[in-house]
């Protein structure tokens, strides 16, 4: 084979390789375009969804709508099935028409107290002496009642009455355990020792709660874990207590 013929063979071979590479590139590009152009189903918000909304509530209230869009328009993390968010809680506002993505949700445990609040429920943090807040006894998840000694509104009257102001309040964050000395000391309220806790209250309950702990003596009472019952609301003042004890101890 002459030098000239060999060069021609090499040139033809390189041309064939280049052609094959070009054909392969065009074929892959065409498949990629077709893949991205194919429509897929995602879900978008049918209404504005505020941060802190439970995924289960979003699904139950039909706040999602399916959309068929080109694959190239899918937002990273977009859900293709509502069940993907049922056990999650939203961490940011989602606006109507926006694709719903897993990036806007987190596990309930990651949200702490916020995951337990929705609608008209609020979290209120208060401080009191260890006896008032049952420090060392209360645990997160317990339920308590608020009892207070309320002053009568009559001008110039010093009379008070004890009453259960609110019932069945959920403990979101329990107070830290008190020392034995402070927990059972009758002087703990005057010694300045305080413990704080966080409770779940409704918007209406919060107003009563704030009034009671700001203006009157108060305490929390632990409710039974199960099968708790309530008596009819009533006021207890000096007259009713003396009437109950008339005739000697019972």
Q: Quick one: pLDDT at residue 181?
A: 47
User: Span 7-26, mean pLDDT?
Assistant: 80
Residue 77 Rama label (left phi>0; alpha psi -120 to 50; beta): left
What is the phi/psi pair of residue 165, to 5°?
Answer: -80, -45
Task: Report the chain's mean pLDDT, rounded to a whole number.
Answer: 83
Q: Which domains does the chain have, with CATH numbers?
A: 39-113 (3.90.1210.10), 120-226+235-245 (no CATH)
Q: Quick one: pLDDT at residue 9?
A: 74
How far is Cα 96 from Cα 10, in angstroms, rounded to an integer?
Answer: 63
pLDDT in tens, 103-119: 989 886 667 787 777 78
User: Span 126-144, mean pLDDT?
Assistant: 93
Q: Quick one: pLDDT at residue 43?
A: 95
User: Span 139-155, mean pLDDT?
Assistant: 88
- Higher per-residue confidence, 175 vs 113: 175
Q: Is 175 helix (H, G, I), strand (E, B) or coil?
A: coil
How far is Cα 160 from Cα 216, in angstroms, rounded to an integer?
Answer: 9
Q: What angle do CA 48, 53, 55 make, to 5 degrees?
A: 100
Greatest alpha-carbon pair distance for the chain in Å reads 136
pLDDT at 192 over 70: no
Helices (H), the chain: 3-37, 55-60, 108-111, 180-183, 203-215, 238-245
Quickly state the pLDDT bin for 226 (edges 50, 70, 90): confident
* Residue 48 near residue 93 (C-beta atoms within 8 A): yes
pLDDT in tens, 52-86: 888 999 999 999 999 999 888 899 999 999 999 99
Q: Quick one: pLDDT at residue 188?
A: 46
Q: Quick one: pLDDT at residue 18?
A: 83
- Higher per-residue confidence, 67 vs 227: 67
pLDDT at 180 over 70: no
pLDDT at 125 over 90: yes
């Amino acid at each position: 084979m002459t030098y000239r013929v060999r060069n021609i063979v090499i040139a033809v071979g390189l041309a064939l390789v280049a052609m094959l590479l070009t054909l392969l590139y065009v074929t892959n590009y065409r498949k990629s375009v077709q893949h991205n152009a194919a429509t897929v189903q995602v879900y978008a918000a049918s209404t504005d969804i505020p941060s802190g909304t439970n995924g289960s509530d979003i699904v139950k209230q039909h706040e999602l709508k399916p959309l068929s869009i080109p694959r190239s328009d899918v937002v990273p993390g977009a859900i293709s099935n509502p069940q993907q968010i049922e056990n999650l809680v939203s961490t940011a506002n989602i606006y109507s028409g926006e694709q719903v993505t897993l990036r806007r949700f987190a596990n309930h445990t990651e949200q702490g107290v916020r995951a337990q609040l929705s609608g008209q429920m609020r979290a209120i943090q208060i401080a009191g002496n260890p006896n008032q807040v049952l420090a060392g006894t209360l645990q997160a998840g317990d339920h308590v009642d608020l009892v207070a000694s309320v002053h009568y509104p009559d001008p110039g009257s010093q009379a008070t009455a004890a009453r259960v102001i609110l019932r069945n309040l959920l403990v979101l964050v329990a107070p830290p355990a008190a020392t034995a000395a402070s927990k059972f000391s009758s002087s703990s309220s005057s010694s300045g020792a305080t413990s704080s806790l966080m409770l779940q209250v409704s918007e209406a309950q919060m107003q009563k709660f704030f009034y009671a702990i700001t203006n009157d003596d108060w305490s929390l009472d632990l409710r039974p874990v199960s099968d708790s019952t309530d008596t009819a609301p009533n006021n207890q003042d000096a007259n009713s207590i003396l009437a109950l004890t008339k005739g000697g101890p019972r």
